[in-house]
Amino acid sequence: MKTIVYQSYRTHNVPDWISRCMRIVPRWAEKQGFEYRFFDDGFFDRVPAWFKQRVNHLVLPMSDLARLLVGQDLLNEGFERVIWVDADVLIFDIDQFRIDIPGTCAFCKEWWLGPNAKKKLQLYSRVNNAVSVFTRGSSVLDFYIESAQAFVRHKCSQIGHADIGTQFLSRLHALAHFPLLTNVGMISPWLLNDMAEGPGGLTQRYMQHTSQPMFAANLCGSMVRGDVNAQKVERVVQQLLASRGAILNRYLAKTN
């Protein structure tokens, strides 16, 4: 199947750890026999002006729509399958990371570790689009594009960062039961802190909720703030690459 992997990110003030993540993706794509294409900020030109204005030019919802529209363009260009990978996704085992899910689309299974209303850490089951897959003729792609725009057009309140990303997909998944990739981890800030310091109990708790080893992870770049957090991300990136994910997967082995 003729497949292309595509990504986008700004080309100025790029954090070192983001650059490191993005250098790996073309290598992985080549190893899989896929083509690769990078888009700079011109990526957002594909988003309608009314949509940009409606979301107050928030990067995340604009990116959520742009990746769909550009994916549609690539399919119309002649590719049979498109794979979007967020810039902050680290593939730490390019030999083991596979996208072998049948069907016309796939998103990512997400276990989000974060505080609940009582400020106690809890794991939430969600669906995200950090890695998204669509094949030619996918009705899900067309529906997602149309329904996301309709949602933004008609929502009375302010559009949030995740309104047409994780929140939107999680609600749809409850009805549609999308195929999900389960080998892409979600490293929330709380899990990141645990991994940078240890890893310890939170990392073990997180891995108890996964169904298979992780070979890639979303590092939640939109939530990284300040030099201290950036240093922690750098440390975790180094640990994941050096161990090829063993700092996560060793806990899975102990609990199975």
| Residues 98-143 pLDDT 10s | 998 888 999 999 999 999 999 999 999 999 999 999 999 999 999 9
Cα–chain center distance at 178: 15
DSSP label at residue 44: G
Distance CA 70, CA 37 (A): 11
218 DSSP β-pair partners: 89, 186
Q: Is 100 helix (H, G, I), strand (E, B) or coil?
A: coil
Q: Domain containing 170 — which CATH number?
A: 3.90.550.10
- Mean pLDDT lowest for which of 11-15, 135-139, 223-227, 237-241? 223-227
Joined together, the tokens standing for residue 172 give: 């749809």
- Mean pLDDT lowest for which of 55-64, 77-86, 201-210, 239-248? 201-210
The residue-averaged pLDDT of 139-153 equals 96
Q: Which domain holds residue 160?
A: 3-255
- pLDDT given for residue 226 in this prediction: 62
The residue-averaged pLDDT of 146-151 equals 96
The answer on pLDDT for 221 being more than 90 is no
Q: What is the pTM of this model?
A: 0.95
The answer on pLDDT for 10 being more than 60 is yes
Q: How many domains does the chain have?
A: 1
Each residue of 67-97: b (16+ CB within 10 Å) or e? bbbbbbebbeeebebbbbbbbbbbbbbbeeb
The answer on pLDDT for 254 being more than 70 is no
- The count of other CB atoms within 10 Å of the CB of residue 24 is 18
DSSP label at residue 49: H
